[in-house]
Chain A
Amino acid sequence: MCAAPCETACRRGTVDAPIAIRALKRFVSERFGVESFDGDAVWHEAHGDVPPADGPSIGIVGGGPGGLAAAHDLRLAGHPVTVYEAQGVLGGMMVLGIPEYRLPRALIEREIEAILSLGVDVRTNCRIGEDITFDDLLDRHASLFLAVGTARARDLDIPGHDLDGVFRAVEFLLNVNQGFHVDLGERVVVVGGGNVAFDAARTALRAAAADAEAPAPTSLGPEAVATAERAMTTTLDAARAARRAGVRDVTVIALESPDEIPAAAEEIADAEAEGIRVIYRRGPHRVVGDGHVTGLETVAVASVFDEQGRFSPTFIPDTEATIDADTVILAVGQAADLDFLPEGLGVERTRAGGVQVDPASLRTSHPRLWAGGDAAFGPRNLIDAISDGRRAAASIHGTPDPIDATAVEIRLRPLPGYRRLATAYDAVERVEIPSVALARRVGFGEVEVGYDEASARLEALRCLRCFDNIMLRPELCILCGLCVDVCPVDCITIVPADDAGVGTASQSALLLDEEACIRCGLCVNRCPPGALVMAEAEEVVHG
């Protein structure tokens, strides 16, 4: 679910392999989170008492991850909260789009239960525009948060796309996840669409750049990459769901080469291990069939990106080939369904069809309307949606952004003593996360199993404690160089201060390579005048 960007940033990664932060969080969550107990005692203990709901009423449109996260924060801030959900169940894409083997349903139910137990009002099967009008919502609530997601699948405009047996990935996954039987036949072809997401993101970027009269950007930000990965993940999800539903022959076709494909290598490897065939550098040309699908005609790809690095596929003529198929699944992107917004309301929209918001406050152009998640930014991952929900809640309530790192100041507080919690922390290698054997990966069980307590403890003791940092009191330093000598990883350097541009010729500068430092504290132990001390990073939240 989570791409674990924390592990990419983990300092241990520069030593050997990063700490398995995601797996450790999972362990802690399984032990002490919602899934660890039946009642809600610990939940309430962590929050204290839920305050009375006497603030301005808030309406949340969409019971997905973003909406529920906002509901949770707003209720705890003292607002009466109502969640409107068009489907019969809460959870949005968590329940309807994401396969069960990625995210156990029991866990989602527990999490939702915990949020509801705070006293959140829920209206399921309530589609705005049909069951209730948008104006009614505006009358009923002081503020509204739109988190409707992207439930509408994009279409691929090739001949034959309306034949029987052509599905859109979102609809297909939605049906499978709701437990409906989908007749797939024996051979399934999934048309991958990672780059459609790229395309949408690039279009938006170019539009923004044109407005600012700046040159078109040639590279995309991490968000666009995440978007493309999400789309590719949907493709692979669809393929794997088909495979698990009993289809023998599942093929994914992708425009990109293995190097270009916007999906994690392990995702592809996992899919291939399950028997899914991935064909690279082929583009969909025509769906073949007479009333019902019999195959997909593809053409070879000449190039995917143009010289500026933009998504602009070109094909090699006369290379048509047909793959026999009973079902073709198109995973070429999703869009927000915002038809319920009244014309006269004056809510600005993005080029991709989402709601235009201020990225910092998530406010729309309407003063009482906030929006976030996929509905505002296009398809992204679950964590982004939850983060949007929390930011919107803070913005609506008028408190500082809980996600914004610039609002937090880090102070170093010298520690009186420094001792590692474990002697061998540097010798332990990353503990492998247990996963289910390939032969047992059938049905909808989870693939990753998670740590047991011993493994979790072992993995956790690898932490380098990079929140601790050495500090120098220059007035005490005698430049003996013993710290440089004892440092096992050569991360301390003494250079002439004038060369480093920080002082005069008669001074020396001590430099620390923080990425190399393993916080062993040997320099602190050895420093004769005690000029080096270990200091703990302390967060000070402003506002």
Chain B
Amino acid sequence: MGEITELDRDELLADALEPGNDPTVSGWRGRVARSEAWRSVFRHPHLDTPRGRALQSFSNVFLHVYPVKVPARVLRLRYSWRLGYIATVLFTILLATGVYLMFFYTPSTTAAYGDMQQLRTGVGFGQLVRNVHRWSAHLMVLVVLLHLARVFFAGAYKRPRQFNWVLGLALLATTLGFSFTGYLLPWDQLSYWAVTVGTNLVNYVPIAGTTIRDLLIGGDQINQTTLLRFYVLHVAVLPGALGLFLMVHIWRVRKDGFAVRRGGVGAFAEGLTDEAATAMILPPGDPADDDETAATPGRVRLLGVVDRESVTAEERLVDDTVFAWPHLLVRHAVVALGTCALVLALGVSFAAPLRDLANPELTPEPAKAPWYFVGLQELLSHFDPLVAGIFVPAAAFLGFLLLPYVDRNPATEAKHRKVAIVVFVGLIVIAVVLTVIGLLFRGPGWQWTPPWTHLYFEL
């Protein structure tokens, strides 16, 4: 309960006569708090009671993004590793740094490279901001992939969250699009040839391959049109798309409740419910008889019985809940600050690369795609381009897309979904091995070059 000693007695009485008066402050602060102007902005007193906290979440747009209460287990770092949240934080950092960079950048083949050089020397914090932007971008791709893996292992893509998994894949695709379009903008040899390698893959798409590539880069090779298209995609189209997907994605996380309980069967598993929790809510027999046992809740009244029509409707067993403010928000603040600190440290320590001006006449050796596509590039060196460049990635993406609709096993525990986990882990191992080989073990002419002989590695 609130500490009455801190509440002003006269103000409490005034509150009784004039509801809405804030009794928690007195003196000049109290006068401000009771002014019409203040109360038009902050409509609730800061009561240190459960109701006061619920009210605060309820009437504040920023807190309103969060649920009022979250299950206590959500607070544990192990619960989600905060990967989705970290990705969102990184996106915010990218927005902020990206807007700053836009002030000093011209999307023109003649000016872009000069602008990059100018960032290094002539713009306040230009180099640092660019470094942070670049490392945040790489980190975001990594974190989104880890988030996907975490959701898979938790089985959190299952009913009723199938579509949110699909949205998550859309967010992954958008993130890769961001990274790929952004890769070109410095207009140096690294960006020019990485994007050339990447866009050349599109040629292998059956029938419409060349048309799509032309549409994407605006010609048969990378030029001014490509730069402008990639720039517009990077600063306007993709942010809009990502914002939209992200909004729906987070909204659904809230609607569906927090991710599935590990070791238990979700409330939506047909015919199965958490019997222990239900037994706790409705003690057997007349609840009035059990008054003496403190463990059983007091008088429970049935408010009503409602037909379940919508899939989003979820059984809301009262879990061991805590208020999102401050418990979850404080943790989120710490994670956000930690993320900022990390990318700042990376930005201070490692400079984003800037090679020579892009030169279509001079192909550097080796020309590697961005790291997240290097696995595909490696695959291409072993198989027919149509298979390695088109069918394999398309099949993988489609497989992931359909996963929640194909995998009808309701269990979320690893021991009940061995096949799914073995297949997924197998895919990860293959992808990681291919990426590591392509990234570290390939030299000029895509020849086997161990990193201890010579390292051809660029981020």
Contacts and interface: CB of A to CB of B under 8 A. Distances in A.
A506 B9 CA distance: 52
Given A428-B7, A487-B54, A496-B273, A477 B306 contact: yes
B278 A423 contact: no
Contacts of B297: 513, 515-516
B163 interface: no
Nearest to A505: B271
B384 interface: no
Contacts of B57: 486
Interface in A172-231: none
Nearest to A526: B58
Contacts of B308: 479, 506-508
B358 to A, nearest CB: 53
A481 interface: yes
A512 B45 CA distance: 27
A100 B277 CA distance: 55
Contact of B304 (A419, A421, A477, A481): A477
B15 A424 contact: yes
B418 interface: no
Contacts of A501: 282
A495 B273 CA distance: 9
Interface in B286-326: 297-310, 312-318, 321
A502 B305 contact: yes
A495 B19 contact: no
Nearest to A479: B313
A233 B1 CA distance: 34
B57 to A, nearest CB: 8
A525 B58 CA distance: 10
Contacts of B9: 454, 458
Nearest to A503: B305
B186 interface: no
Contacts of A488: 49-51, 53-54, 68
B281 interface: yes
Contact of A510 (B13, B23, B48, B302): B302
Interface in B39-71: 44-45, 47-55, 57-58, 67-69
Interface string A414-429: 0000011111101111
A520 B58 CA distance: 13
B316 A493 contact: yes
A487 to B, nearest CB: 7
Contacts of B55: 520, 522
A517 to B, nearest CB: 9
Contacts of B304: 472-474, 477, 509-510
Contacts of A500: 278, 281-282, 302
B248 interface: no
B67 A423 contact: no
Contacts of B301: 469, 511-512, 514
A487 B24 CA distance: 22
Given A485-B67, A506-B307, A506-B308, A513 B298 contact: yes
B15 A489 contact: no
Contacts of B257: 481
Range, interface on chain A: 35 or more
Interface of A is mostly: loop
B275 interface: yes
Contacts of A424: 2, 7, 12, 15, 23-24, 45, 47
Contacts of A427: 1-2, 4, 7, 23-24, 47-49, 52
B20 interface: yes
Interface in A441-484: 454, 457-458, 460-461, 469-474, 477-481, 484
A130 B316 CA distance: 75
A88 B309 CA distance: 77
Contacts of A469: 301
B21 interface: yes
B300 A511 contact: yes
A494 B314 CA distance: 8
Contacts of B318: 484, 490, 492-493
B281 A495 contact: yes
B16 interface: yes
Nearest to B284: A501
B188 interface: no
A420 B47 CA distance: 15
A486 B58 contact: yes
B22 interface: yes
A479 B310 contact: yes
A220 to B, nearest CB: 16
B45 to A, nearest CB: 6
A494 B49 CA distance: 24
A400 to B, nearest CB: 25
A348 interface: no
A15 B2 CA distance: 12
Contacts of A40: none
B47 A502 contact: no
25 contacts: A423-B15, A423-B20, A423-B21, A423-B22, A424-B15, A428-B2, A454-B13, A461-B12, A469-B301, A473-B304, A481-B257, A484-B316, A489-B51, A493-B316, A499-B278, A499-B282, A500-B278, A507-B307, A507-B308, A509-B303, A510-B304, A512-B302, A513-B298, A515-B298, A515-B299
Which 10 pairs between the two chains have the least Cβ-Cβ distance?
A515-B298, A427-B2, A479-B313, A488-B50, A474-B304, A488-B54, A472-B304, A472-B303, A484-B316, A510-B303
Given A427-B2, A509-B305, 8 more contacts: A419-B19, A420-B19, A422-B16, A423-B45, A454-B9, A495-B278, A496-B278, A509-B304
